[in-house]
Amino acid sequence: MKATGIKEGKVIIFSAPSGAGKTTIVRHLLSRFPDFAFSVSATSRKSRGSEVNGTDYFFLSTEEFKAKIDNEEFLEWQEVYPDNFYGSLKSEVNKILESGKNILFDVDVVGGSNIKKYYGERALALFIQPPSLTELEKRLIARCTDDKEVIRKRVEKAERELTYAPLFDFIIVNDTLEHALQEAENRVKEFLK
């Protein structure tokens, strides 16, 4: 139940192809707006490196994830690769918004466009675009988290994901990180006025 007198928070969505820099931008904004909450996505993929359950993602088994889909526990979800799911748990998002906090999403392009449709004018949807697919591939290689075949698939997927850009309120081309960080910060400040 929503507390009386508390204004519900706003929704800020960041989406991009993998490796375009959205997570770096979201982390920057969380440091600049410390009162913002971050929507921790659930996923059925294995954790990478030092990722922490409940902080980076809610890591679920494929079976657990599918059960939550069946129970309609997600605001949005997507099967990004076969049996590799990502989604936003309604319970976590509602808890944050009802407390009056603004919430930042770092989600894939399908999830981002679905969240924007759901929240409408209450949401700001920003698409982070790499300067080119060649540059995106270089960034993915530099991360040293995936093998060549996974990188190839990510670049192919990115080409399709770029077609979603017009569904977002603004496109930020991440040609230089400093420029992208400043533009994202400006867009968020303007939205919150």
Residue 116 within a domain: yes
Check residue 2 and give its pLDDT: 43
Residue 58 within a domain: yes
* CB-count exposure of residue 142 (10 Å: 0-12, 13-18, 19+): exposed
Residue 3 within a domain: no
157/146 Cα distance (integer angstroms): 15
Nearest to 33 by CA among 188, 169, 179: 188
Residue 50 within a domain: yes
pTM above 0.85, yes or no: no
Residue 186 within a domain: yes
Task: Please enumerate in sequence order all residues whose Cβ is within 8 A of that of 72, keeping only pairs 6 or more positions apart, or say none.
Answer: 90
176/22 Cα distance (integer angstroms): 13
Domain assignment of residue 113, given as a range: 11-192
With contact defined as beta carbons under 8 Å apart, do 39 and 92 qualify? yes
Residue 63 within a domain: yes
Q: Which two tokens stand for residue 188?
A: 């968020």
Place of tokens 């420029």: 179
Residue 5 within a domain: no
Nearest to 13 by CA among 98, 119, 86: 119
In three-state secondary structure terms, 2 is: coil
- Taking the CA atoms of residue 111, residue 123, residue 96 and residue 85 in that order, the dihedral angle to the nearest 10 degrees is 0
Nearest to 130 by CA among 169, 157, 167, 103: 157
DSSP 8-state assignment for residue 46: P
Residue 6 within a domain: no
pLDDT digit of tens for each residue in the chain (193 aa)? 444 455 789 999 999 887 788 889 999 999 999 899 999 989 999 998 899 998 888 999 999 999 999 999 999 998 878 999 989 998 889 889 999 999 999 888 888 998 999 899 999 999 998 887 787 778 777 777 777 887 888 778 888 888 899 999 999 998 889 999 999 999 999 999 8
Looking at residue 108, which CATH number applies to its domain? 3.40.50.300
> What total number of domains does the chain contain?
1
Nearest to 25 by CA among 193, 143, 179, 191: 179
74/65 Cα distance (integer angstroms): 10
